[in-house]
Chain A
């Protein structure tokens, strides 16, 4: 199976696949995760602070995003919205879809972390005269962020792989490029394994980053 021709194809295609990984997959992941995390913080705070009017809206948002497939969301935004007069390029469409997706899932992560801060410490904050925002900023959020680091990395690593779905809307990320090469060379097994390995490398780096982050936050001490 791995004759000289296949090895040549693998060597030639490695950088052809890796480069869109660096120019598309990584930026797409970073930008979408940053926007998604911002969304998640807002959504989680609206829910735990029970902000009137906004609370049912964000609950609806989380319900819809978590209850529908990501691929369908991507199609609605890229192929569907033009019918409603909203035409988006493929990359912005992908960023919107991924951000909305991360926002919904990560908001639940953050909400759980916020709720896990012991009530007694919150009351202790009030007992020394703090107001709600001081308790939130000084007592709740520092502890909640620390606790949400491992599950947020879960979402982050998941997103790296989910960006491959953008191939369906003409974003020339790693998977799209791999599909093209595979179609030309008729070596799907070797090439899809190759791209899988590149995803694995990206995610391994992220796992290491997570490990370092946990260490510097002294998470293992609880």
Chain B
């Protein structure tokens, strides 16, 4: 379980996240939705500590981090926490000087100090899982956007994270390529990975989301199943859900 307590994040005077309280259940898929600028991506980046919250607490399966502006977190703690979370970015961000398999092996070899042979075998298995074992020795620039994102998913999985974070994973893809990436995420959800996904795809949110969080102006306006949100009687949410079908 990933617990977020009283988490706030400001960028100078701009309040991006305000007193977020949230419980993300293990082995479930949590979807974060909301209008642009509502703080979705910042919330996700806080869950990976790419953005450090100003105040609050994050507890991942019993390991707790407390944020306090007067007491910066130890680097060691940040690094240990990041090893347990996997992040998939909107624009893939594969290492462009490394081949596909090297991208996937990078974390296990450099961070987890795994042997190269083991990391390679595990990497190939992950590539098979995302259907790209024939691309192992190609460079990212030789792949389509959808393929790059599938490699990025494999790279995140290689760290065997306790939670997988997706930041609008299909926003940079055309509809045809989108399908192949969504299929992988759907499969991971079925395998009961703990997933947090920021998306604008409402149909997908409805399909895979066990819990849907509606964020607005840095606060959680409502959360629950799709049906609960839909029938919440909140006009703002209804308009959002129906216009973005």
Using a CB–CB cutoff of 8 Å, the interface residues on chain A facing chain B are 118, 120-121, 123-131, 134, 138-139, 142-143, 146, 221-222
Instruction: Give the number of chain B interface residues (Cβ < 8 Å).
Output: 28
Segment at the A interface, from B89-97, B180-188, B237-245: B89-97
Do A124 and B79 touch (CB < 8 A)? Answer: no
A118-B111 contact in complex given A127-B82, A127-B87, A129-B83, C-beta closer than 8 Å: no
A129 to chain B, nearest CB (A): 4
A127-B97 contact in complex given A138-B106, A222-B141, C-beta closer than 8 Å: no
Answer yes or no: B156 CB below 8 A from chain A CBs.
yes
* A–B complex contacts, Cβ < 8 Å, 28 sampled: A120-B93, A121-B93, A121-B96, A123-B50, A123-B93, A124-B155, A125-B95, A127-B48, A127-B82, A127-B85, A127-B89, A127-B156, A128-B107, A128-B111, A128-B155, A130-B107, A130-B111, A131-B75, A131-B79, A134-B110, A134-B111, A138-B106, A138-B110, A139-B95, A143-B96, A143-B97, A221-B141, A222-B141
Closest to B158 in A: A128
Do B95 and A127 touch (CB < 8 A)? Answer: no
Using a CB–CB cutoff of 8 Å, the interface residues on chain B facing chain A are 48, 50, 75, 79-80, 82-83, 85-87, 89, 91, 93-97, 106-107, 110-112, 141, 152, 155-156, 158-159
Q: In the complex, what distance in Å separates the CA atom of A121 from the CA atom of B91?
A: 10
Do A126 and B110 touch (CB < 8 A)? Answer: no
Q: Is the interface of A mostly helix, strand, loop or mixed?
A: helix
Closest to A124 in B: B93
Q: In the complex, what distance in Å separates the CA atom of A222 from the CA atom of B94?
A: 15
Do B91 and A120 touch (CB < 8 A)? Answer: yes
* 3 nearest A-B residue pairs (beta carbon): A128-B107, A129-B83, A120-B93
A3 to chain B, nearest CB (A): 59
